[in-house]
Structure 1
Amino acid sequence: MSAETKSGSSNLVSTVISCILSLVIFATMRFYSSWITATQMNTIVGGFIGSWLFVFALTAVSNMEMLVFGNDFQAKFIPEIVTCLTLATVASGVVHRVCATTCVFFCICALYFVNRISNKYHNKGSIATDQIPIRRGGGKKNK
């Protein structure tokens, strides 16, 4: 089995698991909506649960795109992240308005930490300091 096949199958498994977890989280939020709206603290917990919906939806979308477009494909801000953020916010807003507001804040925090973890393991887009040419001296070479 080649490396691409293993990576492709792991992307497929991750996509399926993330889709299932997204559906389970959405169904749980709808099923327990009366509990979530009961107290102020529960509405904040509802927003936190909605942020997990965002994380799993973004994981599913990103892995599905990696299956279709190749392993070097990355999720961008405008199409993928905004769509998943809107999906999670609307799903939380169906339960309670405060859940939608707290979901946005928790999603921003989750996105920050997911980005940090992704940069730590993949380190794409950074230039090593060894490769940057250092110019010494400030004057003209030919006087």
Structure 2
Amino acid sequence: MAVNSQTSMVLSLLLTVGLFAGLQLLKPQLTASPLLTVVTGGVCSLLFLLLVTAVGNLEATLFGKGFQTKLLEVVLCLAMACTAAGMIHRVCITVCFIFSLAVLYYMNQLSQATYGAPVAVQPAPSKKRR
């Protein structure tokens, strides 16, 4: 079930705050093993996803449906997610950055498939000899 931009923004912000608080509460357990450190970097990339969603929905609410999230907002969300990852462990920053780039790529693909303009395919000209 789809929700409007305002509701999605509020839900994204609540999930972001809850995820950040959970990461901070579980910090000693998450740094106990190298595998959990990598998993924590992946979870911080979900934090990036939620932040981009919240910012995009805030802009859609304020400026209208046609407004697109710009590169600056995405970079700021990435910096915030990597900062949150850095509060857990240094390795989490690298993992968060790599996973966030993958998340950004797939978000772009999904956005293009959903909102992109259809491309008209023109037939290739045939080479006929007269």
The TM-score, its normalising length taken from structure 2, stands at: 0.89
Task: Count the aligned residue pairs.
Answer: 125
Task: Identify the range of structure 1 (114-123 vs 58-67) with the bigger mean alpha-carbon deviation.
Answer: 114-123
- Residue 140 (structure 1) aligns with: none
SS at match of 1:74: coil
> Counterpart amino acid of 2:110?
I
> Could you tell me which of 87, 98, 110 is aligned with 1:117?
110
Q: Secondary structure at the match of 2:67?
A: coil
Task: Tell me by how many angstroms 1:123 deviates.
Answer: 1.1
Gaps in structure 1 of 5+ consecutive residues: 1-6, 138-143
Q: Which runs of 4+ in 1 moved over 3 A?
A: 134-137
Q: Letter of the aligned partner of 1:83 in structure 2?
A: L
Letter in 2 for 1:123: G
Distance (Å, rounded) in 2 between the aligned partners of 1:110 and 1:88: 13
> Partner of 2:53 in structure 1?
59
Aligned with residue 81 of structure 1, among 74, 83, 87: 74
How many Å apart are 1:135 and its aligned residue? Answer: 8.5
For residues 125 and 110 of structure 2, the distance between their equivalents in structure 1, rounded to whole angstroms, comes to: 33
Task: Report the TM-score when normalising by structure 1.
Answer: 0.81
Match of 1:105 among 82, 85, 98: 98
What is the Cα-based RMSD across aligned positions, in Å? 1.9
Distance in 2 of aligned mates of 1:100 and 1:20: 23
Match of 1:42 in 2: 36
Which protein shows a greater Rg? Answer: 1
Does structure 1 residue 71 correspond to structure 2 residue 65? yes
Q: Which residue of 2 aligns with 1:20?
A: 14
